[in-house]
Amino acid sequence: MALRDAAIVGYAETKIVEKSDVDVWELGAQILEELLDKTGLDKGEIDGLILSSSQTGAGNNFWSQTTADQLALEVDYCNIVDIGGCSPAGAVARAAAAIDAGLCNIVFCLYADTQGRENNNRPRGFAQEWTQPIGYMGPPAAFGLLSKRYEHQFGLDYRALGKLAVAQREHAVLNDLACEKLRKPITVDDYLNSRMINDPIRLLDSVMVCDGASGLIVMSRKAAEKKGYTKCVVPIGYGERTIYRASEAVVDPTTTGHKPAGEKAFKQAGLTPKDIASFHPYDDFIIAIMMQLEMLGFCKHGQGCDFVNANDFRYTGNLPLNTGGGQISAGQVGLAGGGTNLIEAVRQLFGEGDKRQVKDTKNALVTGIGGIPYGRNWATSVAMILTPNS
């Protein structure tokens, strides 16, 4: 099975900042240099480059090639994964497939974006033509509608959502790489009383656009063994679904592609939600975490708030949640933001979580969300299960 034959042998991450004082390619160079130092690889051994989506590079038709050029990487395989916040996890799956197909041997997965410094996004079509003219201005509006719909169907316990926000913020306080502006403790009351952005979306529900980068080195497990790596992380389950229920004119937006993606990932891994040791979901808004718990099978649809109230999501709890703070409390690195949660999962499985290290490192579940179509569920949903090599 190609996925299990791959190994993540190194990870790296920059400090997340509100606005970078260096170019996105310099951040990529920092990640590459750190990965070469950590793994002991020679730069010339890297023959694959996979990038995540990037607002910085959104207008560049040759983003992967120019990035390879700037980093002086001569590779046999070059690719951009263009599924929004799902791209970092999707890059690992595609790296495993490329290695299995013999297209390359050692892949550098780079997730870098300086959306705060240089947003080159050029949207066209649906957003500009239909939603922006009526004041539907981006994700806060989308998640406001989604939250209201969920509340209408099932009710919504905002104190439960606040519990998730507090747990993630506690983790960000312990994370030296988190954006400094966000490394301040909060309470559930702070969450409830934070400024309303788009009713019922509050300031503390929302991500803050930041700049930064992260990355991984992926190779085959056999190659990792030959090189003598004693620590590596293996992807054992992966599911991806784009435009869930696309053939239906009207869908329930509280159901998402994480349901089929999660089912596939759990089946490949031979695990169930009860087996998951730590959970690192994509978290552009707090309600997205709770909805993913439902779609992935941790609880029934509509019972997410009850599940949240019944469990402990701190790094010392029974289901540690985004132990680096997640994007909401560490900062969202543009479209590379999914790398923040992925890298933290890998860090924990390497046993290098420092002050926030979880006790149980047998596995970790990482997810992604990519795109928010009007009146529907998320455009792309992914789920990836990782485990330490044994």
* Contact in structure between 318 and 311 (CB atoms under 8 Å): yes
Q: For residue 237, name the pLDDT band (cuts at 50, 70, 90).
A: very high
Would you say 311 and 287 are in contact if contact means Cβ atoms under 8 Å apart?
no
Quick: pLDDT tens for 298-345. Answer: 999 999 999 999 999 999 999 999 999 999 999 999 999 999 999 999
Q: At a CB cut-off of 8 Å and minimum separation 6, what does 246 contact?
A: none
Walk me through the domains of the chain, giving residue ranges and CATH numbers: 3-121+211-226 (3.40.47.10)
CA distance 159 to 188: 6
Angle between helices 286-295 and 158-173 (to 10 degrees): 110
Mean pLDDT of 36-56: 97
Residue 55, classed as helix, strand or coil, is coil
**Average pLDDT of span 153-182:** 98
Report the pLDDT value the prediction gives residue 125, as an integer from 0 to 100: 60
Q: How many CB atoms lie within 10 A of CB 136?
A: 17
Q: What is the pLDDT averaged over residues 11-21?
A: 97
Instruction: Kindly tell me if the per-residue pLDDT of 82 is higher than 70.
Output: yes
Give 1's pLDDT tier (boundaries 50, 70, 90). Answer: low
Secondary structure class of 130 (helix, strand, coil)? helix
> Residues 49, 67: contact at Cβ < 8 Å?
yes
What is this structure's pTM?
A: 0.97
pLDDT higher than threshold 90 for residue 192: yes
- Give alpha helix (H) positions in 71-138: 87-100, 126
